[in-house]
């Protein structure tokens, strides 16, 4: 098979057509056409790497043929042949995609130089295209590997979260039920705030295990019916730090550990463990704090009966800006979605 690059010469005049053919025939496969229509017909059935195209031809002018070639065969380079009289149109043809032009009469080296330059450009483009395709293949392969790894990671995360739920359920059944509710409410609040889906899911996960640290707290304190003594409360407060330490040990759950650590901070800075206030408290921790309080109000506790929905909403309003972030409270009250 002839693997030489293919040149098509389109010129209505025999002499230039023939002389260019003679100059190029040893280096390339050279074809000729005596007019624009014939040239385009050739190209419809044969590949051409480069076209030498006369600008003045009786059947179709060179610019029209050039536009047609660039439209139908954009990878083919075009060199225009022009007489001095048409030099301006040849120059302006560059903006229609012509690579260069040859001025008649031309000598052998002009023809070889301009054709070789055109083909070199084409070779570089082909090599770039092939490298780009290889790179795209590589990117697709890597994306696929990343997706597989992400799926594995999610399964791993889910398994870990389930194990943690079982651990907390074994220790304290109330906390386990409460955690499920806080997860649901945290997700809902995140949705009300218009957070991205991924963030909503992270909040659900954090909600489920926000009190995981209670597995490190004495059962007598956890299950005590009456109010806690000062010492017992100090002990109880350690659960956010213990929980963060447990979750921080799980790969890829660092964000969740931070939410757990700060879920008892209060907006006015009177919470624990660090007494952070306002913007210092991470937003997800502010959300879980509200979900935690809302669920607590929705259920009977040893120290008080459950509250009706309107009283819970009033409580949120009253504690807005002190215990809770006022912006989040406002969004909850406006949306009316949280406690239907």
Minimum CB distance to Fe ion smaller for 54 or for 211: 211
Minimum CB distance to Fe ion smaller for 20 or for 328: 328
Minimum CB distance to Fe ion smaller for 78 or for 189: 189
Binding string, 76-95, against Fe ion, x = CB under 5 A?
--------------------
211 binds Fe ion per the rule CB under 5 A: yes
Write the DSSP symbol of residue 336: -
- For the bound state, the minimum distance from the C-beta of residue 211 to Fe ion, rounded and expressed in Å, comes to 4
Torsion of CA 131, 132, 133, 138, to 10 degrees: 90
**Length of the chain, in residues:** 340
Closest residue to Fe ion, Cβ-based?
Answer: 211
Minimum CB distance to Fe ion smaller for 211 or for 325: 211
The packing angle between helices 283-298 and 254-261, to 10°, is 60
For residue 8, the cross-strand partners are 31, 51
CB atoms within 10 A of CB 339: 17
Torsion of CA 157, 158, 159, 162, to 10 degrees: 120
Give the residue from 231, 218, 223, 220 showing the smallest Cα distance to 302: 223
- For the bound state, the minimum distance from the C-beta of residue 227 to Fe ion, rounded and expressed in Å, comes to 17
The residue count for binding Fe ion (CB under 5 A) is 1
Binding range to Fe ion, per CB under 5 A, among 93-101, 195-203, 211-219, 221-229:
211-219
- For the bound state, the minimum distance from the C-beta of residue 240 to Fe ion, rounded and expressed in Å, comes to 6
Give the residue from 47, 43, 92 showing the smallest Cα distance to 65: 43
25 half-sphere exposure, CB direction, 13 A CA radius: 8
DSSP code per residue over 103-169: ESS--HHHHHHHHHHHHHHHHHHHHHHHHHHHHHHHHHHHHHHHHHHHHHHHHHHHHHHHHHHHHHH
- For the bound state, the minimum distance from the C-beta of residue 278 to Fe ion, rounded and expressed in Å, comes to 20
Binding range to Fe ion, per CB under 5 A, among 2-10, 53-61, 152-160, 208-216:
208-216
Binding range to Fe ion, per CB under 5 A, among 26-34, 89-97, 119-127, 206-214:
206-214
Write the DSSP symbol of residue 269: S
172 binds Fe ion per the rule CB under 5 A: no
Q: Which of 25, 129, 214, 230 is catalytic?
A: 214
Query: CB–CB of 339/294 below 8 Å?
Result: yes
Minimum CB distance to Fe ion smaller for 49 or for 211: 211
- For the bound state, the minimum distance from the C-beta of residue 230 to Fe ion, rounded and expressed in Å, comes to 18
**Known catalytic membership, residue 171:** no
Residues that bind Fe ion (CB under 5 A): 211
Residues marked active site are found at 214
């Amino acid at each position: 098979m002839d693997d030489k690059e293919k040149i098509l010469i389109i010129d209505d005049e025999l002499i230039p057509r023939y002389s260019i053919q003679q100059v190029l025939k040893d280096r390339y496969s050279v074809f000729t056409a005596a007019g624009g229509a014939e040239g385009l017909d050739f190209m419809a059935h044969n590949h051409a790497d480069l076209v030498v195209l006369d600008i003045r031809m009786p059947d179709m002018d060179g610019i029209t043929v050039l536009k047609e070639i660039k439209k139908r065969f954009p990878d083919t380079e075009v060199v225009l042949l022009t007489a001095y009289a048409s030099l301006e149109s040849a120059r302006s043809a560059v903006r229609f995609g012509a690579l260069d032009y040859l001025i008649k009469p031309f000598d052998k080296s002009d023809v070889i130089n301009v054709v070789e330059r055109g083909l070199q450009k084409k070779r570089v483009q082909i090599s770039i295209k092939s490298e780009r395709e290889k790179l795209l293949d590589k990117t697709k392969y890597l994306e696929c590997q990343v997706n597989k790894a992400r799926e594995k990671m999610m399964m791993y995360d889910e398994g870990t979260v389930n194990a943690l739920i079982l651990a907390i359920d074994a220790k304290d059944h109330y906390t386990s039920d409460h955690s499920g509710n806080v997860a649901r409410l945290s997700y809902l609040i995140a949705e009300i705030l218009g957070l991205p889906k991924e963030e909503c899911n992270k909040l659900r996960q954090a909600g489920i295990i926000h009190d995981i640290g209670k597995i490190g707290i004495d059962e007598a304190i956890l299950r005590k019916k009456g109010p806690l003594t000062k010492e017992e409360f100090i002990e109880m407060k350690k659960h956010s730090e213990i929980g963060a330490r447990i979750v921080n040990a799980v790969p890829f759950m660092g964000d969740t550990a931070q939410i757990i650590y700060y879920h008892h901070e209060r907006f006015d800075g009177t919470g624990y463990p660090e007494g952070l206030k306002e913007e210092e408290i991470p937003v997800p921790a502010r959300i879980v704090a509200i979900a935690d309080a809302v669920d607590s109000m929705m259920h009977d506790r040893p120290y008080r009966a459950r509250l009706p929905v309107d009283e819970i909403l009033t409580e949120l309003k009253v504690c807005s800006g002190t215990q809770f972030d006022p912006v989040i409270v406002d969004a909850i009250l406006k949306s009316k979605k949280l406690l239907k």
